[in-house]
């Protein structure tokens, strides 16, 4: 199968590309390298450097006629979305519509849209949140991801293009970028391996659902082959607070770094955890990598790279 993956030079997207190639698929990677890295690109994939808002993406998809689109490219910085909602909307809403229009014109048979299991729900009413939980996003990023899901639903209903929206929990693992709007696992791993102090925002009791990138990749493989449609939570269903996460990372790194507490981040979500029951029932997916094991693999990867 020919698959076009946007954001295929990024942290998660590059792992998905590797898995699709290993499964025997033909892969085209579209990435503007604004946050992705050339070193993540698999040489067996064809690479095209393009922004997803560029009209040339429509031409590329029209000419290549892939069977499926896997949409990982996004403006993913929550803080930037708050500071510049127009930029967030241009990339995440207009860029997504640009891709959906291209899919319509090229008769694409399936779309895998990457969403967010934390941002689209907002402050949860139930723990863990299932897919029918109210969506009350608290950031423009969350709004744009929910909008992408709704547009995907429209294109499925109007043009019969089946879609799956993978609502990722907090993904961590090798290749995560410790710079910019990075995940706490990447930031803490680097600092601990260098023996530097780490700072936890607030009391550290805010929780997240941490899912290993290898498990997320399996979800992308299963969703590609499935006939299921609609949103699917991809997470562990387990809450881990930042204090516990720091303890596990210290152990994995064999580090004695000082753990400090700083001011709480204004507006930070207190608890976030998703129910993966629908993915288990309909995709045959469930998380397999325990948090401690995944963190060790991640720290080992940063250690091998010199904790840059």
pLDDT average, residue stretch 185-191: 97
- Does residue 230 surpass a pLDDT of 90? yes
In the predicted model, is pLDDT for residue 306 greater than 90? no
Give the active site residues.
141
Q: Are residues 254 and 204 in the same domain?
A: yes
Could you say which DSSP state residue 91 is in? I
In a domain, 282, yes or no: no
Residues 51 and 100 in one domain: yes
Cα–Cα distance measured from residue 120 to residue 147, given in angstroms and rounded to the nearest whole number: 9
pLDDT of residue 22: 98
Domain count, the chain: 2
- 79: domain CATH number? 3.40.50.720
Say which DSSP state 115 is in: E
Q: Are residues 245 and 298 in the same domain?
A: yes
Q: What mean pLDDT comes out for the span 146-157?
A: 98
Q: Decide if pLDDT at 182 tops 90.
A: no
Residues spanned by the domain of 198:
174-209+238-273+289-304
DSSP state of 107: T
Average per-residue pLDDT for the chain: 96
* Secondary structure element (H or E) that encloses residue 95, with its range: helix 95-106
pLDDT at 308 over 90: no
Whether this prediction's pTM lies above 0.95 is answered by: yes
Whole-angstrom distance, CA of residue 297 vs CA of residue 301: 6
User: Quick one: 17 and 160 in the same domain?
Assistant: yes
- Give the pLDDT score at 307: 65
What is the domain-level CATH number for residue 257?
Answer: 3.90.25.10
> Is the residue at 281 inside a domain?
no
Q: pLDDT class for 96, splitting at 50, 70, 90? A: very high
Task: Please say whether the beta carbons of 246 and 183 come within 8 A.
Answer: no
Q: Distance between CA atoms of 255 and 203, rounded to whole angstroms?
A: 21
Q: Are residues 130 and 193 in the same domain?
A: no
Considering the domain boundaries, does residue 296 fall inside one? yes
pLDDT confidence band for 205 (50 / 70 / 90): very high
Residues 37 and 90 in one domain: yes
Q: What is the pLDDT of residue 181?
A: 57
């Amino acid at each position: 199968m020919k698959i076009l993956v946007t954001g295929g030079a990024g942290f998660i997207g590059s792992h998905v590309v590797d898995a699709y190639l290993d499964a025997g698929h033909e892969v085209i990677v579209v990435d503007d390298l604004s946050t992705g890295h050339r070193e993540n690109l698999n040489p067996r994939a064809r690479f095209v450097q393009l922004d997803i808002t560029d009209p040339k993406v429509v031409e590329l998809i029209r000419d290549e006629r892939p069977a499926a689109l896997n949409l990982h490219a996004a403006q993913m910085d929550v803080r930037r979305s708050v500071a510049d909602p127009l930029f967030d909307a241009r990339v995440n809403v207009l860029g997504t519509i640009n891709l959906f229009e291209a899919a319509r014109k090229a008769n694409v048979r399936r779309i895998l849209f990457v969403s967010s299991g934390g941002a689209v729900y907002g402050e949860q009413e139930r723990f863990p949140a299932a897919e029918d939980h109210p969506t009350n996003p608290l950031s423009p990023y969350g709004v744009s991801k929910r909008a992408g899901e709704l547009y995907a639903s429209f294109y499925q209903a109007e043009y019969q293009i089946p879609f799956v929206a993978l609502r990722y929990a907090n993904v961590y693992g090798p290749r995560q970028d410790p710079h910019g709007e990075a995940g706490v696992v990447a930031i803490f791993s680097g600092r601990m391996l260098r023996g530097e102090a780490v700072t936890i925002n607030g009391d550290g009791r805010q929780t997240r659902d941490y899912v290993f990138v290898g498990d997320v990749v399996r979800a992308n493989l299963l969703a590609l082959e499935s006939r299921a449609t609609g949103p699917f939570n991809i997470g562990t269903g387990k809450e881990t607070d930042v204090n516990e996460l720091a303890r596990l990372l210290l152990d994995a790194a064999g580090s004695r770094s000082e753990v400090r507490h700083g001011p709480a981040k204004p507006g930070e979500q207190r608890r976030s955890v998703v129910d993966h029951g629908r993915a288990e029932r309909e995709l045959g997916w469930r998380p397999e990598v325990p948090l401690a094991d995944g963190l060790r693999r991640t720290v080992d990867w940063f250690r091998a790279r010199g904790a840059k």
